[in-house]
């Protein structure tokens, strides 16, 4: 998949275009992408996703994001999109008049534009569907996608994650929520307790569920050689040792080795419990043992 930061960078050819933040690339987004690909096949032109980095609400409302730009691009590529234009979403960009955004779209020569029915753009959200119809005759506006009567939207997924409900998040995403980051040195407390962990640093602003979880971690042990490991993760502030900052720590079952400096992707499967404060390290160690047993059971049929 080709990636640009401006419409002017791509060839001067016709396209079909989908526009949106695509934060998390959830089931609603996937429905929109399916429509985009259908229009691309019909018109025999490249499919283009015009998206924003960071997602608009990260800047306008201060929310955490579900997917980093590399995570989003990887997902869009997996769904078969030909090109992505990921424009830097800054205060200056948000303040542009709607006509400037329409000029961006005109530069893509769209045979079709696919958006959600509540799509607005430009300073003060002044632009809407009637303006898009001035760019192309074919504007496809999809209603809010639902699952079991529940709206599928990034805001709802963040709400699930906030209370540790990774199963609820997975239902709306159509896949297990994941986070990836670099393994950095920690204080080696887990090793002292007999449960060594990889301390994973994710980009600031990445939404993480709080609590203890059964997870599958994917490591890259050499180029083109990903390996999957069952394990358990703790995300929180470690109140038993008076921690002051959020940590994301993962213990991999039956694993020996050094992961420092490596990129690790962690998929959250099951919420085991919330974070809690124990009377001391012995009580914490005993609970970790029970957590490990519960995680192994939760992942028993996962390959």
- What confidence tens digit (pLDDT) does each residue in 185-210 have? 877 666 666 688 899 999 999 999 99
Pair type for strands 83-88 and 47-53: parallel
Pair type for strands 211-220 and 83-88: unpaired
Phi/psi region, residue 22 (left: phi>0; alpha: psi -120 to 50; beta: rest), is left
* Largest Cα span, the chain: 68
Is the model's pLDDT at 102 over the cut of 60?
yes
Q: Is 66 exposed, middle or buried (0-12, 13-18, 19+ CB in 10 A)?
A: buried
Q: Which residue has the higher pLDDT, 100 or 243?
A: 100
Per-residue pLDDT band at 237 (split at 50, 70, 90):
confident
* Pairwise CA distance, residues 55 & 64, whole Å: 9
How many beta carbons lie within 10 A of that of residue 267, not counting itself? 21
Q: What is the pTM of this model?
A: 0.91
Using one digit for the tens of pLDDT, what is the confidence trace for 15-49?
A: 999 999 999 999 999 999 999 999 999 999 999 99
Residue 216 confidence (pLDDT): 98
Per-residue pLDDT band at 257 (split at 50, 70, 90):
confident
Q: What are the tokens at 258?
A: 């050094």
Phi/psi region, residue 60 (left: phi>0; alpha: psi -120 to 50; beta: rest), is alpha
* Pairwise CA distance, residues 19 & 17, whole Å: 6
Residue 53 confidence (pLDDT): 95
Using one digit for the tens of pLDDT, what is the confidence trace for 122-153?
A: 999 999 999 999 999 999 999 999 999 999 99
Q: Provide CATH 2.40.30.30 ranges for the chain.
A: 176-299
Backbone angles phi, psi at 127, to 5 degrees: -90, 150
- Mark out the alpha helices in 16-90 (DSSP H runs): 27-43, 56-61, 69-78
H helix or E strand, kind and range, residue 220: strand 211-220
The arrangement of secondary structure in 2-151, i.e. its CATH architecture, is: 3-Layer(aba) Sandwich (3.40)
19: closest CA among 33, 9, 31, 8? 33
* Pairwise CA distance, residues 166 & 178, whole Å: 10
Describe the crossing of helices 154-162 and 166-173 by its angle, rounded to 10 degrees: 160
Q: Which CATH class is domain 176-299?
A: mainly beta
How many beta carbons lie within 10 A of that of residue 90, not counting itself? 13
pLDDT > 90 fraction of the chain, expressed in percent and rounded:
82
Q: Provide CATH 3.40.50.620 ranges for the chain.
A: 2-151
* Mean pLDDT, rounded, for 284-294: 92
Using one digit for the tens of pLDDT, what is the confidence trace for 40-79?
A: 999 999 999 999 999 999 999 999 999 999 999 999 999 9
């Amino acid at each position: 998949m080709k990636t640009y930061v401006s419409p002017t960078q791509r060839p001067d050819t016709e396209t079909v275009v989908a526009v949106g933040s695509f934060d998390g690339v959830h089931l609603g987004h996937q429905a929109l992408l399916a429509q985009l690909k259908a229009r691309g096949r019909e018109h025999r032109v490249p499919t283009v996703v015009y998206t924003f980095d960071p997602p608009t609400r990260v800047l306008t409302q201060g929310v955490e994001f579900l997917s980093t730009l590399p995570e989003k691009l990887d997902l869009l590529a997996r769904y078969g999109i030909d090109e992505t234009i990921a424009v830097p979403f800054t205060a200056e960009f948000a303040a542009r008049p709607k006509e400037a955004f329409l000029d961006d779209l005109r530069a893509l020569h769209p045979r079709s534009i696919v958006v959600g029915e509540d799509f607005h753009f430009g300073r003060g959200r002044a632009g809407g569907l009637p303006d898009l119809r001035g760019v192309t005759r074919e504007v496809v506006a999809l209603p809010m996608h639902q699952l079991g009567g529940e709206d599928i939207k990034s805001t709802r997924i963040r709400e699930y994650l906030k209370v540790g409900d990774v199963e609820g998040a997975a239902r709306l995403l159509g896949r297990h929520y994941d986070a990836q980051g670099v393994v950095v040195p920690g204080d080696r407390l887990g090793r002292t307790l007999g449960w060594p962990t990889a301390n994973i640093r994710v980009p600031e602003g990445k939404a993480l569920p709080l609590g203890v979880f059964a997870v599958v971690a994917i490591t890259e042990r050499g180029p083109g050689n990903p390996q999957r490991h069952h394990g358990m993760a703790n995300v929180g502030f470690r109140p038993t040792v008076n921690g002051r900052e959020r940590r994301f720590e993962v213990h991999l079952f039956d694993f020996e080795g050094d992961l420092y400096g490596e990129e690790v992707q962690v998929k959250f499967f099951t919420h085991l419990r919330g974070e809690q404060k124990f009377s001391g390290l012995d009580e914490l160690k005993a609970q970790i043992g029970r957590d490990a047993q519960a995680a192994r059971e939760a992942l028993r049929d996962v390959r």
